[in-house]
Chains A and B, each alone.
Chain A
Amino acid sequence: MTELSLRGLTKRFGAMTAVDDVSLDIPEGRFVCLLGPSGCGKTTLLRLIAGLEAPSSGAVLVAGRDQTDTPAHKRDFGMVFQSLALFPHLSVAENVAYPLAIRGVDRATRRNRAAELLQMVRLPDLGDRRIHQLSGGQRQRVAIARGLAINPRVFLLDEPLSALDANLREHMQMELRQLQQRLGVTTVVVTHDQKEALTMADILILMDGGRVQQVGAPMELYRDPANAFVAGFIGNTNLLRGHLRGREMAVAGTTLTLDDGDRIKAPDGPAILSVRPEDTRIAARGVPARVTFLRDLGESVQVVMDMDGTEVTALFAPRDRPDVSLGDSVHLAFEPGRRVVLPA
């Protein structure tokens, strides 16, 4: 069942359109990652969903009911802010129980629930501390516990892990994901870290310039990008300009014949061929190129080549290491079935 629906959601700040005509349907219990470069409108979209910002046009529906005009405090959502926004004047337990206190829940119930929530985020015994007595990771957990205190319909998080160091961050990603799966709460997390998005998401929403570029499972976006922006943003890719006619793609003076498995998403004419570095091969015949850089990364070998002015990267497993050296002229082949032709 669709829990959260956005219909043509648009937000303008003066002449600038921060969120542009976003329509989405998010099924109940899914973990959604909102991914995109800085300034693409992720935070604004999340604030529109939360009701902290009024849309210029469009609607927000929760379980089929229009909530566009429902004020933020009547939506029964949970949210974790980038700054965490924990209350310095309350103890950890009081912070966690704040939404319950606002709803008039009695003191004893509040205390039990706070203890339960702190147990859940693995912070028992810290209930009496002040916020400034906690480490960054502990604060993170308190904010998450507080956001989940009322069993929210929708749980929203804005770059919740961005302040943590890499190790803790990876750990918290897994923990957040497991917690969400256990509780089954529909969750939307904003991030600009694609690895984080790939780790956690059921559904990935990739935004750029206020618009949704593609929605789908992470692997879907990786394998089957809708456009060059998606291909370039999710993982590394080689984007080669060329010309498409039927199943023939001309790249740097060489014509490649596309296979059944290859995805053609552009009309005839100028187009972009997207191939992942691991699907790029050095072969006896193919597109001519010259080796400009070689490096051994341990788990893989990276070969960078110049193909008629375009930089192309190929990645090999150590045992497939090609016998080339700097300045060699080589020919490139692209794994059939893994090629994607995108609109230019």
Chain B
Amino acid sequence: MSAHRATPAWLALIPAAWLAVFFLIPFAIMLSVSVAHRVPGGFFEPGFEIDSYARLMTPFFGRILMTSVAVAAGAAAICVVLAFPFTVILAGMRARGQTLVLVVLLAVLSLSEVIIGFSLSTLLSRTAGVGNLLAWAGLIAEPRAYTPGLFALMLGLCYLGLPYAVLVLYPPVSRLDPELGEAARIMGASPLRVFWTVTVPVLRAPIAGAFVLVFVFTLGAYLLPQLLGRPRHWTLSVHITDQAIFQSNLPFAAAMAVVLLLVSLALVGVSLLLGRGGARA
């Protein structure tokens, strides 16, 4: 009867090996660098000291970490809030329209952070930006710049994150049984209440998934905060780049990266738990 053999156990080694090669080993190297001894003006030599971490335990870096998390979470929240109704409407469109919109979204994905950053900083500038258009239309008195600033930064991050949010939400939203909403209609729910009492709660897990993806994605953005934000909006990613490339302080950069990784892992875990809890409990 047991002619059917179970999947060989060693098969599980393949994903494990992948994880090790592409994630664990680089992470181990980063960990070892983060505790290495820095040679001022030069590189670093192997060692074990927690100086880099100690330097992070200051209100200054605490604030930067908070800023990073807040900026990424804010961008992720805005993206999900915009992407969810957008995707629900998209999934209700006829097939050709859906394909067209998805193609456009994929095209936006092909734009790099650099292109988006420079385009937006031109578009929002005083001399060549939308300010001129608004002044010309008489909406504002004088053309003005909208960059650098939090608004410009958020705009850039959302532009970057929105297609991802839509693409993550699209499959579960389009698979949603339309009869669920119709049943709610018959039971007395207006279309808006159907959205809030059925569509959103049923899709809580994918919504959390989209949030996590955009959050992690924007947390890693290091060009846009420099191009579109003020120094106080600089995220940890910017400082990591700065330390690693311009200050040649690899141990400190590695220490920041480790902290950022752990913090984001913790937040991702919490978000996913919340999303799953919504679908089950």
Residues of chain A having any CB pair with chain B under 8 Å: 50, 52, 71-79, 81-83, 85, 87-89, 98-99, 101-103, 130, 146, 149-150, 156
Set A75, A81, A103: member contacting B183, Cβ < 8 A: A81
Q: Which residues of B contact A130 (CB under 8 A)?
A: 280
Q: Which residues of B contact A71 (CB under 8 A)?
A: 185, 190
Minimum distance in angstroms from A117 CB to a CB of chain B:
13
Identify which of B142-150, B196-204, B234-242, B258-266 touches chain A: B196-204
- Expressed in whole angstroms, the Cα–Cα distance for A232 and B216 within the complex equals 65
> B201: nearest residue on chain A (CB-CB)?
A89
Contact (Cβ within 8 A) A146 B202: no
Q: Which residues of B contact A156 (CB under 8 A)?
A: 186
Q: A87-B202, A88-B279, A89-B278 are in contact. Are A102 and B180 (CB under 8 A)?
A: no
Contact (Cβ within 8 A) A73 B189: yes
Contact (Cβ within 8 A) B188 A73: yes
Minimum distance in angstroms from B202 CB to a CB of chain A:
5
Residues of chain B having any CB pair with chain A under 8 Å: 177, 179-180, 182-190, 193, 197-198, 201-202, 204, 278-280
- Expressed in whole angstroms, the Cα–Cα distance for A99 and B186 within the complex equals 9
Set B188, B198, B204: member contacting A87, Cβ < 8 A: B198
Contact (Cβ within 8 A) A78 B280: no
Q: Which residues of B contact A73 (CB under 8 A)?
A: 185-190
Apart from A89-B202, A102-B193, A130-B280, what 20 extra A-B contacts exist at CB < 8 Å?
Answer: A52-B186, A71-B185, A78-B187, A79-B186, A81-B182, A81-B183, A83-B179, A85-B180, A85-B182, A87-B184, A88-B202, A89-B201, A89-B279, A98-B187, A99-B188, A101-B197, A102-B189, A146-B187, A150-B187, A156-B186
- Expressed in whole angstroms, the Cα–Cα distance for A77 and B182 within the complex equals 12
Closest A-B pairs by Cβ, 3 of them: A85-B183, A99-B187, A85-B179
Q: Which residues of B contact A78 (CB under 8 A)?
A: 186-187
Minimum distance in angstroms from A11 CB to a CB of chain B:
16
Q: Which residues of A contact B187 (CB under 8 A)?
A: 73, 78, 98-99, 102, 146, 149-150
8 A-B pairs in the complex with CB atoms less than 8 angstroms apart: A52-B186, A73-B190, A77-B186, A81-B179, A98-B184, A98-B197, A102-B189, A156-B186
Q: Which residues of A contact B184 (CB under 8 A)?
A: 87, 98, 102
Contact (Cβ within 8 A) B188 A102: yes
- Expressed in whole angstroms, the Cα–Cα distance for A50 and B187 within the complex equals 11
Q: Which residues of B contact A77 (CB under 8 A)?
A: 186
Q: A85-B177, A89-B279, A102-B189 are in contact. Are A72 and B182 (CB under 8 A)?
A: yes
Contact (Cβ within 8 A) A52 B185: yes
Contact (Cβ within 8 A) B188 A103: yes
Set B177, B188, B280: member contacting A83, Cβ < 8 A: B177
Between A75, A89, A156, the greatest number of chain B beta carbons within 10 A of the residue's beta carbon is seen for: A89
- Expressed in whole angstroms, the Cα–Cα distance for A146 and B204 within the complex equals 23
Minimum distance in angstroms from B178 CB to a CB of chain A:
9
> A130: nearest residue on chain B (CB-CB)?
B280
Minimum distance in angstroms from B188 CB to a CB of chain A:
4
Minimum distance in angstroms from B87 CB to a CB of chain A:
18
Between B185, B197, B202, the greatest number of chain A beta carbons within 10 A of the residue's beta carbon is seen for: B185
Contact (Cβ within 8 A) B279 A79: no
- Expressed in whole angstroms, the Cα–Cα distance for A102 and B186 within the complex equals 11
Contact (Cβ within 8 A) B193 A72: no
Minimum distance in angstroms from B147 CB to a CB of chain A:
42
- Expressed in whole angstroms, the Cα–Cα distance for A101 and B177 within the complex equals 22
> A90: nearest residue on chain B (CB-CB)?
B201
Set A52, A76, A81: member contacting B188, Cβ < 8 A: A76
Q: Which residues of B contact A81 (CB under 8 A)?
A: 179, 182-183
Q: Which residues of A contact B188 (CB under 8 A)?
A: 73-74, 76, 99, 102-103, 150
